Amino acid sequence: MPTNCQSCPVRRDGLCASIADEQLSMMVGLKRPPRTIHAGANVFLEGEQNDLVYIIRRGWAVASTLHENGRRQVLRFAMPSNLVGFATRSDGSMPCTVEAVTELIVCPIPRRKLLQLCQEVPTLALCIASQFATETITDWQLLGALGTCNAAERIARLFLTLCNLQRREDASNTPDLVLPISQTIIADATGLTAVHVCRTLKEMRLAGLLTFAKGRLRVLDWARLARLAEMKDVAVAPLSHALAIRQRGRPARAGWAGPIGADLAP
């Protein structure tokens, strides 16, 4: 058996975690050689026929759809261990475009063969269903905010969601998190313009909530950010010792008036 599957960084996460070591050879027999996809390139396009599904081994991708007015809506963020390309429309075409945000390494698997393996290994089918259910709940939280939240609340919800996903990948307690997304991607995920995103991020920085620049996010007040996002079920990440000291030395704020008058008490 090739050693690359056993030593793969996502061997114990997501889809691959449902496959016992003795069954791994069956998956190895299905996979095509790993493929590298450069940042900005498409894994596949909305509407095209594609008989492959992909396990993301390394990197970030976004799934999006293009509206008739030409604007893009980001539907989902895909990270290591995620499966993309499994769902299709009734005619077999892809329901969305998946684009590499960073350089991706993916493991391609023919969809037909994967479905056959699911019949032979029921735990694999259950894992795929569970993964899709978890991702769908996350999608609902983000997309549902578009009709009910103001700009700051949408961005707060997006950042908290991505932070939680990042914490699963990196358990280190550092004040900065790497979120390799641009303000354009933030805009396309939140239904805002890039200009509005830029202005709102500046207001959030001045309010002492967070800083975001060049793909690095530092949350200055996790509790206030969670309240702004109205995500009470999200665990508040611990602060580093140095950051906690800086916060204790900062004067208390009376609150923050967001873009449409949202008041956030300290």
Tens of pLDDT, residues 86-126: 999 999 999 999 999 999 999 999 999 999 988 988 888 88
Domain ranges of the chain: 3-121, 145-248
Third-level CATH fold of 3-121? Jelly Rolls (2.60.120)
Task: Please name the helix (run of DSSP H) or strand (run of DSSP E) that holds residue 107, with its range, or none.
Answer: strand 104-110
Give the pLDDT score at 261.
35
Tokens of 110: 């023919």
**Band of residue 85 on the pLDDT scale cut at 50, 70, 90:** very high
pLDDT greater than 50 at residue 58: yes
At 84 the pLDDT is 95
Matching CATH number, 145-248, of 3.40.50.280, 1.10.10.10, 3.40.50.150, 3.30.1220.10: 1.10.10.10
Cα gap 156→202, rounded to integer Å: 13
Distant-in-sequence, close-in-space partners of 226: CB < 8 Å, separation ≥ 6:
156, 160, 232, 234, 236
Digit-coded pLDDT (tens) for 142-171: 888 888 899 999 999 999 989 887 755 444
pTM, full prediction: 0.81
